[in-house]
Amino acid sequence: MNDTSKPGNDRSDRYYQRHIFFCLNERKNGEACCTQHSAQSAFDRCKGQVKAAGLSGPGMVRVNKAGCLDRCAGGPVAVVYPEAVWYTYVDEQDIDEIVESHLKNGKVVQRLLLPAGVGR
Ligand code: FES
């Protein structure tokens, strides 16, 4: 049950309902990084789909770039807050499903969840 007596726990007072952060870290030393796995195009796709769905802006969804989120072994990765749900994705269909299911309707996309133990 949500405790709405504490600041920040009442969803109506949040500036954005949800944030999705995409790791766009790039390493030039050959180590694994999310940009090796089309993270930039996934970020662009997500921004476009969120806008096209009318979900962008205050009170709704914000799509943000992030540096390394320290879960590189599962890359490319993105995380949705406030639920703190971590995703790994492959293609545009995966991004579209995250937008439609989670960002629009609040339903986690189970098949794209990043396994709990994956780190750097
Ligand atoms: S490079 Fe993307 S999580 Fe580290």
DSSP the chain: ---TTSTT-SGGG-S-SEEEEEE----SSS---GGGGTHHHHHHHHHHHHHHTT-BSTTSEEEEEES--S-GGG-SEEEEETTTEEEE--SHHHHHHIIIIIIIT----GGGBPPTT---
Stretch 80-101: mean pLDDT, rounded? 97
72 CB near ligand 1 (under 6 Å): yes
CA of 38 to the centre of ligand 1 (A): 12
Q: Calculate how far, in angstroms, residue 6's C-alpha sits from the geometric centre of ligand 1.
A: 33
Task: Report the separation in Å between the CA atom of 10 and the middle of ligand 1, taken as the mean of its atom positions.
Answer: 31
How confident is the model over 5-62, as pLDDT tens digits?
454 455 568 899 999 999 999 999 988 899 999 999 999 999 999 999 999 999 999 9
117 Cα to the center of ligand 1, angstroms: 15
- Tell me what the mean pLDDT of segment 100-108 comes to: 98
- CATH fold of 11-112 reads Glutaredoxin (3.40.30)
pLDDT value at position 1? 40
Is there a contact between 57 and 101 (Cβ–Cβ < 8 Å)? no
Q: Which of 37, 38, 77 to mutate to test the pocket of ligand 1 (most atoms within 8 A of CB)?
A: 77
Q: Is the CB of 33 under 6 A from ligand 1?
A: yes
pTM above the 0.85 mark? yes
Assess whether the C-beta atom of 114 lies below 6 angstroms from ligand 1: no
Domain positions in the chain are: 11-112
